[in-house]
Amino acid sequence: MKKSPKQQILDLVGASESDGKWSENAQAYKSQLLDKIVKHLEREDGESDSDLKSRLLGGDGNGSISNKKLIKLYNMVERLKADFGGSKDKLVDALLQSRVGAAGKVDEDFRTHLNKKSISTLLLTYDHAVKAGEIQA
């Protein structure tokens, strides 16, 4: 049986449900998990790591990030680290390999276009390119 997002968060931070009430410790657990991934997440203009973390934890009054969304972000960052060394630029370079022209040059306009995309969109685009045989994984 698949674990719930709450159970996955507990596993990732090394806690168990018997350690205490989830409602009392949820923010602390989410904070621990965000500490592991915040440097790889995209930010708004001028937003620091601590500002991003505060925003995701609900410090701006908009409520805390959901468990499901946090697990999705964690898995995305872990894949980025495992497959592309944690670098969005390496992911963009891998996507550009499918678009190298006859002269062997990379389309810089396409690079600019890709750099505007989120990491999750780029990973999805990469998966589609691999499936279509445009990129060798």
Mean pLDDT by 10 residues, the chain (137 residues): 89 80 84 91 86 85 85 94 93 85 74 92 93 82
Residue 81 lies in a domain: no
Shared-domain flag, residues 103 and 128? yes
pLDDT at residue 44 in the model:
81
Q: What is the pTM of this model?
A: 0.84
Same domain (yes/no): 3, 67: yes
User: Do residue 2 and residue 66 come from a single domain?
Assistant: yes
The residue count for the chain: 137
Q: Which pLDDT value is given to residue 110?
A: 87
CB 94, CB 134: distance < 8 Å? no
Same domain, 10 and 59: yes
pLDDT at position 24:
82
Judge whether 38 lies within some domain. yes
* pLDDT of amino acid 14: 86
Same domain, 66 and 12: yes
120: closest CA among 62, 41, 67? 41
d(Cα 70, Cα 120) in Å, to the nearest integer?
A: 13
pLDDT at residue 103 in the model: 62
Residue 133: which domain range? 87-137
pLDDT digits (tens, 9 = 90+) for 26-47: 888 899 999 999 998 888 888 8
Verify that 51 and 102 share a domain, yes or no. no
- Looking at residue 134, its pLDDT comes to 82
Would you call 47 helix, strand, or coil by DSSP?
coil
